[in-house]
Structure 1
Amino acid sequence: MSNFFSLPKISKGRGFDPEFINEAEMSKDEVIEIAFHMGQLCGRFHQVMKTFDYDVERASAHHNPFQAENTSIFEKKLAYVKDSSMRNQLRNYINVFKEQFLPRLSELRKGFIHGDISDTNIILQEGPKDSGQAGKHWRICGLIDLEDCGYSYIVGELGICTAYVMLRAASVEADPVEASRQTIQGYQTIQSLSAEEKEVLFYVVTSRMAVSYVSASFECFLEPENSVYLFVHAKNIPTVLKALKDYGRDEIDEIWFGGA
C-alpha cells in the first residue's frame, strides 16, 4: 500500500471544510489511476497559467535549484553518493542530460510552473466508485506548496511529475513504466507536447532521478539521523532506473507516445 494525503471528512454545510488531513493507503491499481489524474493536474495547471497575469521577469528571477535546467548544480554533490556504481550511473545520466537537453533550451516552451507537482503535494478526496470497481476511487481536489512557482520549462515540470509518480508506483511494487505512461497520457488529454518536448522528456525524467538521489545523499550526510525521511522517495530510484534501462530509450518513447 502507498500513502497520499487525503481528506477523510468534508463538511456538507459550508462546502470544502475538512476537519483534518491524514494519509491514505492505496493499492497498486489506485496508484496507477492517480498517475493519470496527476498528469491531468499538471496539464491543467499549465493551461490555466497561460491566462495568469504575472511579471515574467520577476518569475524568471526566482531560483529553484531543482528546476530541470539547473541539474548540473548537483554534479558537485555526487561525491556524497556512497555506492560507486550508483554514483557513476547518476553521473552518466547527468552528463547525457547536459548533452541532450541543455543545447535545446531555445526550442522548448516556457511558462509559469508550480515547480514541484508530486504525490506529496496533492490532496485527495475519496469519491464514489464505478460499478464493479475494486478498491477506492480518488479524485485530486487540491494542490499545495507553491513556494517553488516560477517561470521555467513546461516539459521540465512534466518530467518532475512523471519521475515522482514512477517512484510512488515502485513503492507499492506497481509497474513504474505503466505509471509514467498514464501520467503522460493524462497530461496530453489537457495539453499536447511538441515534438521537441517529446524528444527530451526521457532525459528530464532520468536527470530528475539523479538529482533526487544525489540531493538525498547529501542531506543524509548533513542529517544522518533523518536518513529514513530524507530517502522516502530516493530509496526507490534504483528500481525505477533499472526499469527504464531494461526497456531502453526507444521503447520507452514508444510506450509514452505510441510513435507519434
Structure 2
Amino acid sequence: MDQLPPARPPLGIEPATRACALTGNRTLTSWFTRRPQPLSHAGRAVLPSCFVLSALPQRTLLMVLDSGSQTKSHLVRLLTYLPGRPIAEVPVGPQLLYEIGRLAATLDKTLEEFHHPKLRCLRREDFIWNLRNVPLLEKYLSALGQNRNREMVEEVLRLFKDEVLPKLSHFRECVNHGDLNDHNILVEPSEPASGEAAFRVSGILDFDDMSCGYYVFEVAIAIMYMMIESRDPMGVGGHVLAGFESVIPLTPAERGALFLLVCGRFCQSLVMAAHSCRLHPENAEYLMITAKTGWKHLQQMFAMGRRAVEDLWFDTARSYGSGVPV
C-alpha cells in the first residue's frame, strides 16, 4: 500500500485541509485552504470535530525516516487539532452531565444527515463494541476466570438476550458515535453562573467506533462512561438522560431497556479489557482504566436493583421539566 485511503468527509463535510509527506526532503508539508467547519444540524453549528486531512493527488504519502541503523517507511495520517481538555480532567457536575446528554442526542440527529456512498459499511454486524452485540462477549468470558464478576456478566448476557434483543425492532435506528467516553469529549472554561468553575462542551474526538445502531444506545453508552469517575455514579444517569431527552425523548420501549443497555456496556468494556490484558499485558494500565471503578459500579447497580435505579434516573430527568412522561 503506497498511499493513504481517501479521507471520508466527516458528516458529509468536505475536508478543509490537504497534506502530504514528501519523501525527498522527509518533511511534512500541509496546505490550508480554509478553516474546518463545525458539525452542523438544521443550519446551526453543533460541535467541531477532527478532520482527516486528505492527500494531494499525484503525491506519495510515504515518509522515509533514517534512524541510523535502518531506514523505515511510514504512512502519514494528519488530523486537524481541536483545543480543549478531556472531561476526564475536570470536575463534572449535573449541568455538564446534562450538556453531555444533549450532545449525544444532537450528534445522533446530525448524523442522520450524513450521506456517503460507503455508508453501508457502518452496518458492522459483528462489531464487538456495538451494543446489540453484547451476547458476543460469551466467547471472551474465560478472561474473567471463575468468580462473582463472571457470574454477574453471565446474568447480564442472559437478561440481554431475553429482554433486549427481542425489542430491537421497537427502537428507532440511527448512526451512533458509539464511544462518548470522558476522553473523547473536550471542554473549555465558560462563564460560571456561581463561584464554581464551569465548563462547556467544545469538541468530539474519535469516530472510529461509528456504527448503525439506535438512539437509546448512544445515551446508554454516555451514561455508563460518565459513571466511571463520578462521585455519585448512580445519580449520573438522570442528568444525562434529561439532556438527551431535551432533544430526543425516548419511547417507553427504549426507556425500558436503558438499565440493561448500561449494564451491557459495562460488560463490554470490562470483559474486553480483561481479554486484551491477556494478549497485551504491557498495556494493562491503560486497558484497565474502566475496571478500576467499573466492577464496583456494576455491582452497585445490581445491589440497588433495576427498579430503584430506573426510578432514580427517571425522577431526576423529570425534575428538569423536560415534559417526558415516566
Could you say which TM-score interval applies, normalised by the shorter chain? 0.7 to 0.9
Secondary structure at 2:187 match in 1? strand
Q: How does 1:156-175 map to 2 (within 5 A)?
A: 156-169=217-230, 174-175=231-232
Contact 1:32 / 1:178 at 8 angstroms: preserved in 2?
Answer: no
Percentage of identical aligned residues: 25
Secondary structure at 1:164 match in 2? helix
Tell me, in whole angstroms, the C-alpha distance in 1 between the residues paired with 2:308 and 2:141: 29
Q: CA deviation at 1:22?
A: 5.6
Note if 1:204 corresponds to 2:204: no
Tell me, in whole angstroms, the C-alpha distance in 2 between the residues paired with 1:194 and 1:215: 30
Q: Which residue of 1 aligns with 2:250?
A: 193
Greater helix proportion: 1
Q: Which residue of 2 aligns with 1:3?
A: none
Q: 2:239 aligns with which of 182, 187, 199?
A: 182
Give per-residue Cα distances to partners, 1:120-161, cap 9 Å, x unaligned: 11111111211x332x21111101111222221221121111
Tell me, in whole angstroms, the C-alpha distance in 2 between the residues paired with 1:63 and 1:26: 35
Q: CA deviation at 1:194?
A: 0.7
For CA contacts below 8 A with separation 6 or more, give which structure has more relative contact order. 1
Note if 1:65 corresponds to 2:122: no
Tell me, in whole angstroms, the C-alpha distance in 1 between the residues paired with 2:139 and 2:125: 22
Q: How many residues align?
A: 239
Tell me, in whole angstroms, the C-alpha distance in 2 between the residues paired with 1:70 and 1:224: 25
Aligned-partner residue type, residue 215 of structure 2: I
Tell me, in whole angstroms, the C-alpha distance in 2 between the residues paired with 1:196 and 1:72: 20
**TM-score, length-scaled by structure 1:** 0.83
Note if 1:103 corresponds to 2:160: no
Tell me, in whole angstroms, the C-alpha distance in 2 between the residues paired with 1:74 and 1:107: 24
Worse overlay, 54-63 or 201-210: 54-63
Tell me, in whole angstroms, the C-alpha distance in 1 between the residues paired with 2:314 and 2:208: 31
- Structure with larger Rg: 2
Q: 2:142 aligns with which of 79, 83, 96?
A: 79
Q: How does 1:217-232 map to 2 (within 5 A)?
A: 217-232=274-289
Aligned-partner residue type, residue 156 of structure 2: Y
Query: Which runs of no fewer than 5 residues in structure 1 stay unpaired?
Result: 1-13
Q: CA deviation at 1:204?
A: 0.5
Q: CA deviation at 1:176?
A: 0.5
Q: CA deviation at 1:93?
A: 1.0
Contact 2:84 / 2:188 at 8 angstroms: preserved in 1?
Answer: no
Secondary structure at 2:276 match in 1? helix
**TM-score, length-scaled by structure 2:** 0.67
Q: CA deviation at 1:162?
A: 0.9
Secondary structure at 2:259 match in 1? helix
Secondary structure at 1:101 match in 2? helix
Q: Which residue of 1 aligns with 2:188?
A: 125
Aligned-partner residue type, residue 298 of structure 2: L
Contact 2:82 / 2:203 at 8 angstroms: preserved in 1?
Answer: no
Tell me, in whole angstroms, the C-alpha distance in 1 between the residues paired with 2:82 and 2:161: 46
Tell me, in whole angstroms, the C-alpha distance in 2 between the residues paired with 1:246 and 1:39: 25
